Copies of this chain bind each other. A is one copy, B any other.
C-alpha cells in the first residue's frame, strides 16, 4: 500500500539539483528551507512552505558534517514542530562511517553513535555507496529504514564508455570485492595495491608483483577520497612503474579542487567522481538512482496509520 500524504522536498543549500530530481520522481513539490547564521554562530532554520500532515524529504549531503548535522537536526525537529507527518533524509554522502571500531583505547564507535542519533529524529534515510567495512549493513547502526544506492553499476558504465582497455586498480583492501565485481562486469583485469597507513595523511603504497598490465589503461578506484594522498601516491607509483596515465575514479569527492590539479600534475589522465558531493570532478550520476530509492522508501514504509 502506498502513502497518500503529500510530500515536500526540502534541499539544504547546494543540494538543489538532487532535490529537483527527487521532487520530479515523487511527483511532488520542492519547498524552500532557509538557513540563517546568527552573529553568535547559531543556526536558524525556516521552512517557507506548509508541511502540516506532509511527508518531508530533507536533501542534504553530509560532507564536512558537524555543522550540517546540527542544521539537519534542527530542520527535522522544526518540520515535526510544524506538523510534518514523517521526516526522511536523502544524504548521498553519509559521514562518520569510517569510525566503525575502537581503533585505539579511549575511542568510541562514532558510526554507531551518529547512526543512532539520526535514527532518533528521522523516519528513514537514503544514501549512496556507504562506507561499510567492520559494520556490514546500515541496519546495524540505523533503527529506521536505511536504503542504499550502489555506485558500481554507474561506474562500470562510465568506464565502458570512456576507457578502451582498462585494468582496475584498488588501494583499499576492504574494496577488493567491490572492484572485482566491477572488473567482472567489464571483463577486464584488476589488482590491488599493498597499502600501509602510517597516519591520516601518511600512506605508503606498494605494487604487487602480479601487476604486469602496462599495456592497459589503469583505472584507480576508490570510495571516499579526502586528503587525496593515497590517490596521488598511486598515480605516481603507476607512472613510475611504466603504466600509461591512469584514470582516477572516486565515489565520494571530499577533497579540495587543488587536489584534482595535483593528481593531474603527477600524471593522471583525468579525475572523475560520482555526484554525491558537489565537485568540479563530478561525472558519474547517482541522483537518478537516489531519487528512485527515495520513492521506494516512501512507498514501502507507509506510516503506522496507513499500513
Chain A interface residues toward B at CB < 8 A: 34, 38-49, 63-67, 69-71, 73-74, 77-79, 81-82, 95-96, 98-99, 102, 104, 106-110, 113-114, 116-117, 120, 200-201, 224, 226-227, 254
Contact = CB atoms under 8 A, between A and B. Distances in A.
A108 B40 contact: no
A226 B46 CA distance: 21
A252 B39 CA distance: 14
A216 to B, nearest CB: 31
A46 B105 CA distance: 8
Contacts of A201: 39
A40 B64 contact: yes
A8 to B, nearest CB: 12
How many subunits of this chain does the assembly comprise? 2
Contact of A71 (B66, B78, B200): B66
A81 B108 contact: yes
Contact of A107 (B41, B78, B98): B78
Given A107-B78, A110-B45, A40 B63 contact: yes
20 contacts: A39-B200, A40-B64, A41-B63, A41-B65, A42-B65, A42-B96, A42-B99, A42-B110, A44-B99, A65-B70, A66-B66, A66-B71, A70-B70, A73-B113, A74-B110, A77-B116, A78-B106, A78-B108, A78-B113, A81-B102
A71 to B, nearest CB: 7
Contact of A82 (B47, B106, B113): B106
